[in-house]
Every structure is written in C-alpha cells, then in structure tokens.
Amino acid sequence: MAAPDTAPKIADGIGSAADAAGTPRQVLTGVLVAAIVLALFASRGLQSWADAKGDSALATMVGDGVQRWSDGIERLGLTAPHDALRRRFRRVEDSHWEAGG
C-alpha cells in the first residue's frame, strides 16, 4: 500500500512532489505529443487562431500554411470528431434555449 501524500499542497491543490515528478525530457515529450494531437484533431481552431492574427505579411504566410494544413486534415477525415462535437454542443445549447432554461 502506498504511503499517503504528505507533501504540502500549493494553490492548485497538487502536491509539490507531483509537480516535480517529470524530467524535462518527459515534459517536452508530453508537450510535443499534445501539440501533434491538437494539430491533427483541432485544425479548425488553428485556422481560427491564424485568421485572428491580422494583416501582416507574416500573418498572411502563416494563414496560408494553416489553410493548406487544414485542407489536408479535412481530406484525411480528421476534422469529423471536431465537427461532430460542435454539432452535439449546438444541439444541447439549442435544446436548452427551447426549453426556456
């Protein structure tokens, strides 16, 4: 049986021992995996972010790249989970308003 966590808690309620559990390489790996998953399954959000960057030459270049990425991800069908989730949330929101609540 594991000993109870007696490390002092910080503001977010996570013990200081848990905060320091990952090595820098593990943290970097986790961040990279998360970035790849987001790039694959949340390309619509990436597109919205790029659209909001303004009219500079860099923003246009980034926006063009994001558009090509988003088109490729859509061709692969990886936008389907995002679209389905948005439809479901919209249905829930609509039913909430129709019910008067």
75-78: list long-range contacts, CB under 8 Å, 24+ apart.
78/40, 78/41, 78/43
Q: Could you read off the pLDDT of 3-23 as tens digits, one per residue?
A: 666 656 556 666 666 556 678
Tallying the residues shown for the chain, one arrives at 101
Q: Which of 39, 37, 41 is nearest to 79 (CA)?
A: 41
**Taking the model in full, what pTM does it have?**
0.57
**6 domain-assigned:** no
Tokens of 65: 């790249």
Q: How many CA atoms lie within 13 A of 14 on its CB side?
A: 6
Residue 45, number of CB atoms within 10 A of its CB: 13
Q: What domain range is 70 assigned to?
A: 22-98
Instruction: For residue 2, tell me if it sits in a domain.
Output: no
Does some domain include residue 43? yes
Structural domain includes residue 69: yes
Residue 9 covered by a domain: no
Q: Number of structural domains, the chain?
A: 1
5 is a domain residue: no
Taking alpha carbons only, the member of 82, 84, 44, 86 closest to residue 66 is 44
- Determine, yes or no, domain membership for 10: no
Q: Find where tokens 């008067």 sit.
A: 100
Is 90 exceeded by the pLDDT of residue 33? Answer: yes
Residue 8 resides in a domain:
no
Band (pLDDT 50/70/90 cuts) for residue 32 is very high
